[in-house]
């Protein structure tokens, strides 16, 4: 089996497990779902909350130079004029005349193939050239089987080129394979709505496509009310909405998602230093959540990729089964955003620096992360299959800090007073963490269910507990079982989570 097929298989198994165990459901599934929207189930919501709590704890609670904010999703539409979203936040969209498929032009690729039958064009959808080649593999194999050989002559991205009508004919539709793609059109990604009873041009508003602008719009409020001094940051976690042309790769590109964003304001001459600081800190942060550093990449953008106002930009990327893709972007945005809001609002957004005795518009470093993408990376990283005593086992190796359930408590059998002791331990732990109690079925099956949920330890009350007050603690990863005094369960879990 090719690497691409294996990875595809992994995504299928993962999405099946996520549904079966209540991590992620399709939104409004009983009505057939809605493309690009997802719900987090009982285990997923704990995972997501743990990610957000870890970020808030590490970036806000434990730092002296950060304050938090929680802004409204709908803002005065002038915000989006100032930010440039109304004018420029658009993707090139391309439609197929034949099958009515709709794609993002920058994700459409033409793979030109030479065989005995001549030159033919395969249409595929992919993020980059290596993945375009991978995606074309099955079709290439078919041609090679029929014609004896199939050589790739060229792989072309439809980005930009498709905007020119005469070049549309060079690309095949990734869905139906016909040369029937239409010239691309620009499509604004902001969701539009109306505020109030009357739907008119004057009542148009937008769902925010990023949380960042709420921070800029409140810069003056925060400076005036919270005695922050440069350098300092403002952090926000919240929902954002983008009417993505083609939501893809499970929750990776959705139409409703959550962001964790920081705007870190600093003196202009210190922005390069702070950019490097945040880029490196944010990269490292993901390893503390349990993502292997070998699966994480820091990609510094080339000069040609930078926005005209940006002095630097880097992406933290993760090796997902569907390819290496962005988890977070860190950008040195100079004074662009505050200056634009100053111009559009007419309000003074300068800062008076006591030290230098001067007034200026601070520069800003923006680390902008996605909650859903972090959760998806954690799910991909955690998924594993092994064999225990000849039986196949699926387990989610979450770091205890982000595992949805921290422990499960079982009585070995449902009699002899074991359930009562187990329930008392469960209640004691449950006052501190999400913990699960289960007394049904064979103990082996109960262990397997928790392995799939990613629960780091299972605590079992057995015959010996009734005599010496000890319980067995089974480790999800090593499968080792140790006996500890039942009064030590809470401390044991806290140690495991790195809390003591
Ligand atoms: N304020 C800067 C900003 O929003 P971005 O690169 O467009 O930058 C930041 O988004 C992060 O938000 C991304 O790295 C990603 O984690 C998340 N994100 C963006 N669009 C998303 C989508 N359609 N679905 C899920 N997450 C998304």
Ligand 1 centroid distance, CA of 105 (Å): 19
Nearest to 289 by CA among 178, 371, 191, 176: 371
Residue 188 in contact with ligand 1 by CB distance below 6 A:
no
The C-alpha atoms of residue 105 and residue 90 are separated, in whole angstroms, by: 12
Output the CA torsion sign for 236, 239, 244, 248: positive
Question: What burial letters (b/e) apply to 323-355, b meaning 16+ CB within 10 Å?
Answer: bbbbbbbbbbbbbbbbebbbeeeeeebbbeeee
Residue 91 in contact with ligand 1 by CB distance below 6 A:
no
**Given the CA of residue 329, which atom of ligand 1 is nearest to it?**
14
The C-alpha atoms of residue 9 and residue 52 are separated, in whole angstroms, by: 29
Q: Whose alpha carbon is nearest atom 20 of ligand 1?
A: 253
Enumerate the H helices of 257-383 as residue ranges: 271-288, 336-345, 371-382
Ligand 1 centroid distance, CA of 476 (Å): 33
Task: Give the model's pLDDT for residue 221.
Answer: 97
Ligand 1 centroid distance, CA of 375 (Å): 14
Please report the beta strands in 5-132, taking only residues with DSSP state E, as ranges in sequence order.
24-26, 38-40, 66-68, 90-95, 102-104, 108-115, 118-125
Ligand 1 centroid distance, CA of 372 (Å): 10
Tens digit of each residue's pLDDT (9 = 90 or more) over 389-426: 888 999 999 999 999 999 999 999 999 999 999 999 99
Least confidently predicted of 7-16, 28-37, 212-221: 7-16
CB 254 within 8 A of CB 37: yes
Residue 60 has phi, psi (to 5 degrees) of -120, -65
Ligand 1 centroid distance, CA of 258 (Å): 8
- In percent, the amount of the chain with pLDDT more than 70 equals 97
Tokens linked to 405: 């359930």
Q: Strand order of the sheet with strand 90-95?
A: 102-104, 90-95, 185-188
Give mean pLDDT, residues 325-329.
Answer: 97
> Is the pLDDT score of 124 beyond 80?
yes
CATH number (3.30.1130.10, 1.10.10.10, 3.20.20.210, 3.40.50.800) of 405-496 reads 3.40.50.800
Residue 370 in contact with ligand 1 by CB distance below 6 A:
yes
Tokens linked to 294: 């070998």
Ligand 1 centroid distance, CA of 318 (Å): 14
Ligand 1 centroid distance, CA of 252 (Å): 10
CB 172 within 8 A of CB 139: no
CB 485 within 8 A of CB 420: no
Residue 368 in contact with ligand 1 by CB distance below 6 A:
yes
**Domain 3-89+191-338+364-380 fold:** BirA Bifunctional Protein; domain 2 (3.30.930)
> Which of 88, 104, 210 maximizes ligand 1 atoms within 8 Å of its Cβ, making it the mutation to test the pocket?
210
Task: Give the model's pLDDT for residue 6.
Answer: 67
Tens digit of each residue's pLDDT (9 = 90 or more) over 201-255: 999 999 999 999 999 999 999 999 998 999 999 999 999 999 999 898 999 999 9
Query: H-helix or E-strand containing 9?
Result: helix 3-20
Residue 21 in contact with ligand 1 by CB distance below 6 A:
no
Q: Give the residues across from 241 on adjacent strands.
A: 256
The C-alpha atoms of residue 234 and residue 261 are separated, in whole angstroms, by: 8
Task: Give the model's pLDDT for residue 162.
Answer: 56
Ligand 1 centroid distance, CA of 238 (Å): 12
Q: How far is CA 452 from the centre of its chain?
A: 21
Between the alpha carbon of residue 103 and those of residues 157, 174, 306, 370, the distances in Å are: 13, 9, 25, 23
Task: Give the model's pLDDT for residue 105.
Answer: 87
Ligand 1 centroid distance, CA of 262 (Å): 13
Residue 435 in contact with ligand 1 by CB distance below 6 A:
no
Burial (CB < 10 A; 0-12, 13-18, 19+), residue 287, is: middle
Task: Give the model's pLDDT for residue 187.
Answer: 85
The C-alpha atoms of residue 9 and residue 470 are separated, in whole angstroms, by: 43
Ligand 1 centroid distance, CA of 118 (Å): 42
Tokens linked to 192: 């539009």
Please report the beta strands in 116-180, taking only residues with DSSP state E, as ranges in sequence order.
118-125, 151-157
Residue 259 in contact with ligand 1 by CB distance below 6 A:
yes
The C-alpha atoms of residue 182 and residue 173 are separated, in whole angstroms, by: 10
Give mean pLDDT, residues 371-375.
Answer: 98
Count of H-run helices and E-run strands, the chain: 14, 26
The C-alpha atoms of residue 409 and residue 421 are separated, in whole angstroms, by: 10
The C-alpha atoms of residue 51 and residue 167 are separated, in whole angstroms, by: 45
Q: Whose alpha carbon is nearest atom 18 of ligand 1?
A: 370
- In percent, the amount of the chain with pLDDT more than 90 equals 81
User: Which residues belong to CATH 3.30.930.10 in the chain?
Assistant: 3-89+191-338+364-380
Give mean pLDDT, residues 176-183.
Answer: 89
CB 331 within 8 A of CB 350: no
Task: Give the model's pLDDT for residue 1.
Answer: 55
> Is the pLDDT score of 268 beyond 70?
yes
Q: Whose alpha carbon is nearest atom 24 of ligand 1?
A: 253
Output the CA torsion sign for 385, 430, 48, 56: negative
Residue 395 in contact with ligand 1 by CB distance below 6 A:
no
> Which of 38, 88, 89, 257 maximizes ligand 1 atoms within 8 Å of its Cβ, making it the mutation to test the pocket?
257
CB 364 within 8 A of CB 264: yes
Give mean pLDDT, residues 48-60.
Answer: 98
CB 80 within 8 A of CB 242: no
The C-alpha atoms of residue 256 and residue 189 are separated, in whole angstroms, by: 12
Between the alpha carbon of residue 230 and those of residues 266, 273, 312, 331, the distances in Å are: 6, 14, 20, 18
**Ramachandran bin of 36, using left for φ above 0, alpha for ψ from -120 to 50, beta for the remaining angles:** left
> Which of 27, 52, 326 maximizes ligand 1 atoms within 8 Å of its Cβ, making it the mutation to test the pocket?
326
**Given the CA of residue 212, which atom of ligand 1 is nearest to it?**
1
pTM for the structure as a whole? 0.90
């Amino acid at each position: 089996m090719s690497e691409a097929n294996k990875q595809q298989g992994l995504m299928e198994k993962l999405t099946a497990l996520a549904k079966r165990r209540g991590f992620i459901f399709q939104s409004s599934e009983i009505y057939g779902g809605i493309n690009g929207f997802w719900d987090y189930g009982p285990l997923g919501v704990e995972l997501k909350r743990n990610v957000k709590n870890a970020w808030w704890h590490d970036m806000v609670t434990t730092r002296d130079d950060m304050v938090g904010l929680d802004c409204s999703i709908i803002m005065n539409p002038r915000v989006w004029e100032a930010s440039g979203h109304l004018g420029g936040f658009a993707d090139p969209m391309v439609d197929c005349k034949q099958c009515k498929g709709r794609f993002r032009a920058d994700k459409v690729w033409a793979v030109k193939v030479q065989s005995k039958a001549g030159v033919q064009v395969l249409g595929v959808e992919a993020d980059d050239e290596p993945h375009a080649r991978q995606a074309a593999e099955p079709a290439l194999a078919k041609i090679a089987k029929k014609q004896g050989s199939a050589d790739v002559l060229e792989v072309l991205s439809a980005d930009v080129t498709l905007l020119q009508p005469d070049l549309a004919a060079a690309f095949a539709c990734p869905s139906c394979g016909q040369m029937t793609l239409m010239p691309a059109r620009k499509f604004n990604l902001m969701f539009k709505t109306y505020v109030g009873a009357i739907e008119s041009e004057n009542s148009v508003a937008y769902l925010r496509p990023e949380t960042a602008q709420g921070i800029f719009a409140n810069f003056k409020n925060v400076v005036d009310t919270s005695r922050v001094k440069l350098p300092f940051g403002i952090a926000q976690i919240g929902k954002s909405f983008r009417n993505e042309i083609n939501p893809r790769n499970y929750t990776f590109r959705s139409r409703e998602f959550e962001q964790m964003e920081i705007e870190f304001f600093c003196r202009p001459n210190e922005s390069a230093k702070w950019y490097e600081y945040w880029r490196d800190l944010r990269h490292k942060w993901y390893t503390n959540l349990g993502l292997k550093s070998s699966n994480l990449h820091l990609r510094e953008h080339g000069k040609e990729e930078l926005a005209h106002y940006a002095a630097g930009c880097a992406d933290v990327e993760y090796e997902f089964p569907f390819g290496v893709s962005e988890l977070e972007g860190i950008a040195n945005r100079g004074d662009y955003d505050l200056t634009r809001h100053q111009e559009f609002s007419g309000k003074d957004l300068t800062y008076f620096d006591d030290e230098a005795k001067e007034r200026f518009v601070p520069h800003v470093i923006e680390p902008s992360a996605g909650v859903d993408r972090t959760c998806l990376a954690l799910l991909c990283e955690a998924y594993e299959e092994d064999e225990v005593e000849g039986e196949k086992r699926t387990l989610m190796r979450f770091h205890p800090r982000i595992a949805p359930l921290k422990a499960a408590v079982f009585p070995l059998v449902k009699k002899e007073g074991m359930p009562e002791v187990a329930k008392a331990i469960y209640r004691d732990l449950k006052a501190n963490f999400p913990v699960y109690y289960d007394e049904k079925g064979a103990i082996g099956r109960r262990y397997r269910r928790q392995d799939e949920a990613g629960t780091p330890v299972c605590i079992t009350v057995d015959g010996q507990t009734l005599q010496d007050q000890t319980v067995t603690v089974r480790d999800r990863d090593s499968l080792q079982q140790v006996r500890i005094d039942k009064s030590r369960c809470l401390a044991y879990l806290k140690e495991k989570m790195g809390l003591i």
